[in-house]
Homo-oligomer: A and B are copies of this chain.
């Protein structure tokens, strides 16, 4: 009996701990797969809103989504031919992204940016900055970086690098998961 009572206590504590862990399921995890301006804008508008409502937010950038996190200034990195081509062909940074529809050789994108400024909606670079200030966690997918030949120093400051397990762990603790 003397042996079992502490065990029983331990079990109760474990149950409580489990319960409290279960209650920590909250907030939002997003996969940002797309590098289209409209989709990345939507992702950051949601992220800023959620962070302002005190929800923990994690954004996981993979494939074309990585382009939103690239520095706008060129960074010297030694690359193979295919990686260099990918890097050269893909938009470098949030300010270079274009609309998924009605881009019209850049005219539609310029119109969208102009109307957003007129309506006092933050530009994408400002939304990213604001998200970082509000504590939104930005994670760049390590496998995508490897495949696309993007080096850590080519990304903006404050970006974490993580793998699929990082995403899954975050998704599993979040109330909502979105793929943009």
Binding site for B on A (CB under 8 A): 22-23, 25-26, 28-29, 31, 33, 35, 38-39, 42, 45-46, 49-50, 53, 55, 62-64, 82-83, 85-86, 89-90, 101-102, 111-112, 114-116, 119, 121, 143, 146-149, 163-165, 167-168, 171-172, 174-180
Cβ-defined contact, B42 with A62, below 8 A: yes
Which residues does chain B contribute within 8 Å of A85, judged by CB atoms? 111
Which residues does chain B contribute within 8 Å of A112, judged by CB atoms? 147
Number of copies: 3
Cβ-defined contact, A50 with B176, below 8 A: no
Cβ-defined contact, B175 with A171, below 8 A: yes
Majority SS of interface residues in chain A? helix
